[in-house]
Amino acid sequence: MTAPSPQSDTRLPAYLRLRDDIARRIAAGEWGPDDLLPSENKLSAQHALSVGTVRKAIQQLVDEGLLERRQGSGTFLRKPAFDATLFRFFQAREADGAPSIPSSRLISRTRVTAPAAVAAALGTGDVIRIERLRCLSEQPFLAETLYIPAARFPGFEAIPESEIGPLLYPVYLDRYGVFVARAEDEVRFGTADAATARRLGIAEGAPVALIERLAFAMSGEPVEWRIACGPADRFRYRSRIG
């Protein structure tokens, strides 16, 4: 076959068109996380391109973190695990210093009209609001409020809590085919309001770090807006420049 999918825009180089084609097929859910993609040979035959061109296209997707190559085995779709990136911002470690994924406690799931700023970011005001608390060793340290478009996640508010793990993105993928590929974070400082302070067990007005996130599906469509709030003294962020 010669990929009858919607031809990439203009007269772009072949390796870019192939890259976009593969990305589109990933977005369409043709392969699931950790699935094996066709080999370079197969792809080059299917698209009537040389292996070198195919490698160049794949390499870009590897650089973007979408794919993973294993010499001798094949090329695999990577499952993005960047729910954990939120915790780059906080010291989320057990007492023994081992990093771990905090447990989640869902507080509420309600269909509401989104605040103006959130509606603007998501492109719709018809959303489901999720409130949850992240805990480490039974100790709450991060309060989150999330909004997801009701049209994109129908019935989410009715999913039994037992079927929702500590991470949400796998749920989005498994139940709704929404593959969160990219996110934008913004970090600010502020003070805790009464409700948040109560949940976190800190004083009202205590300094907190606020992390806003807008997450996008592979298609570029925004699929989740969230704000996380944690005590400022646990905040710590490292970055490498250059």
Binding-site ranges for a copy of itself (CB under 8 A) = 63-65, 80, 82, 85, 180-189, 207, 209, 216, 232-233, 235-242
User: Do 58 and 75 form a contact (C-beta atoms < 8 A)?
Assistant: yes
With CB under 5 to 8 Å by kind, the binding choice for 42 among DNA, a copy of itself, none is DNA
What is d(CA 234, CA 207) in angstroms, rounded to the nearest whole number?
A: 11
With CB under 5 to 8 Å by kind, the binding choice for 74 among DNA, a copy of itself, none is DNA
Amino acid, single-letter form, for residue 219: S
Q: Of residues 67-86, which lie at the interface with DNA (CB under 7 A)?
A: 69-75
With CB under 5 to 8 Å by kind, the binding choice for 82 among a copy of itself, DNA, none is a copy of itself
Among 29, 30, 45, 48, binds DNA (CB under 7 A): 48
With CB under 5 to 8 Å by kind, the binding choice for 3 among DNA, a copy of itself, none is none
What is d(CA 41, CA 192) in angstroms, rounded to the nearest whole number?
A: 57
User: Do 76 and 68 form a contact (C-beta atoms < 8 A)?
Assistant: yes
Q: Which is nearer to a copy of itself, 150 or 215 (CB)?
A: 215
User: Do 217 and 177 form a contact (C-beta atoms < 8 A)?
Assistant: no
User: Do 208 and 187 form a contact (C-beta atoms < 8 A)?
Assistant: no
Q: In the numeric block, which tokens belong to residue 126? A: 């018809």
Sign, CA torsion 110/86/200/196: negative
Tell the smallest beta-carbon distance from residue 24 to a copy of itself (Å): 17
Tell the smallest beta-carbon distance from residue 30 to DNA (Å): 16
User: What is the contact surface with DNA in residues (CB under 7 A)?
Assistant: 13-16, 37, 39-42, 48-53, 55-56, 69-75
